[in-house]
Amino acid sequence: MKKFLIAFIAFCTLTSSSAFAAPEPTPVPESTPAPENAQVTKTAQPTPSAAPTAEPSAEPSAEPTSEPSETPEAEAVPERELSTQFVINLAVTHRKYIISNNAVIELYDMNDKLLGSCLRYVGWDTPTVQMVFDVPQYRMGEKFKVKLVSGLRSIWYYGQQAQVGDTIEVQTYGYLDENGGYVQCNGVSLDANPEYEKEIHMYITDEWYNDIEPRARIVDGVTMMPVRAVGEAMGLDVDYNGEWDSVTLSIEDHKTVFWANNEYMAYPGGDKNASHKPVYIEGSLFVPVRDLAEAFECPLEVTDYGEFMDILIGEAPYYRELMNRIPVNRDGIGSRTNYLIWVSKHEYKVRVYEGQQYNWKLVKEYPCALGAWDTPTITGQFEIIERTQWDYGTYYVGPVLRFYNGYALHSTLLYYGGGEYDGRVGVNISHGCVRLHPSDINWIAANVPFRTRVYITE
């Protein structure tokens, strides 16, 4: 009985001890030997379900599970958000005189690693240009760097501007449309300013000459213009010398001479070197605007607006002096056309002018016959209202340019078979009409339109 109690006490001591500490040994009298089955008490400990164990079991579970991770697994990137291309769409700004060129753009990552270079032609007929770069796979939202290498003046992206050699940052993106579909934007749209020739507006004595051909342009930084077209618009006489390949511009005794492909120019009061040698463009000789204006002391105003330029050439003082000496300018005679006919009775002259009021320039001068003393030629201001021919049986006159009732400008008296019946001019012989040689009246009839003013003075 005593042995049984000792064994029972030892069992209770073991079961009441913590599972995380080794049990204290039960004191046993020295005279009492340890029972042979004392080790059996270890198998009587609670199962793992009854109490936690000190350490996780190293034994594998019945069904293997994945190894635990310190961080959650990265979310898989949808295929729709990935791309291996980067696309640049260039919207080329419209310019009137685009210079055809090859635009070159380079693409870099944000670590300044070159990913590719693309070249595309840009001309007057290419409003949009697309550049496609093959790049390592990336996800929408990634940033890149775009560098303008050559061929364009500049590019823009949301307020960023890059000129040649500059770089701007761009970003890709994606979004869901109204139908829930994913739209991938694996590139950017840029505004591109092409290389172009600046448009030049020419104003000469306050009149806009927008139809001068060939047009004025900038050559090596110097504004050049077609010398004949602009010189004549300034009221200058323009004379080309093929032997010397030169052009002379003049107002009476005031002259300036330019030589093609030579900076030397003859200048009123002395010679000088032009700011640029005259050159041929589209078959016309171009000279520097400033040199020509200064040669005739014309006021010159140049305003550069960036995309275009206004050039205002004022009137030469010599020209105004010359114009004021012409009676039709001094008297302010106008016309509904660009022509004016002045008949000076005391000179027996018919003069044809081209231009406008206060700016008439003489183009033709012819002798004429006038009305007899008892049938004088009328004086005043009239207009050409009819073109016809008058027949008199034996002879005729024509062409006839009638300007008032029975008064007209017409030819001398002509035979039907040819030759003049009466070819006299410089005398008072007609019934009031103004007679001219056939070749002279033919030129007037061919060039001067209806409603042209006919001004007749004593």
Alpha-carbon distance 394 to 419, whole Å? 12
Residue closest to 129 by CA, chosen among 185, 170, 87: 87
DSSP state of 196: B
Phi, psi of 182 (to 5 degrees): -90, 130
pLDDT digit string (tens) for 51-98? 444 444 444 444 444 444 444 455 688 899 999 999 999 999 998 889
Strands (E), 300-442: 300-304, 308-313, 339-344, 349-354, 361-367, 370-371, 380-383, 386-391, 395-404, 407-411, 413-415, 420-422, 428-430, 434-436
Burial class of residue 329 (count of CB atoms within 10 Å of its CB; 0-12, 13-18, 19+): buried
Please give the domain boundaries of the chain with CATH numbers for all domains.
2-44 (no CATH), 80-194 (2.60.40), 199-321 (3.30.457.10), 331-457 (2.40.440.10)
Cα separation, 379 vs 343, whole angstroms:
9
Across the chain, what does the average pLDDT equal? 85
Read off the pLDDT of residues 283-318 as tens digits, 9 standing for 90 and up. Answer: 999 999 999 999 888 999 999 988 889 999 998 887
* Range from 196-200, 424-428, 449-453 carrying the lowest mean pLDDT: 196-200
Tell me the pTM.
0.54
Rg of the chain over Cα atoms, rounded to whole angstroms, equals 52
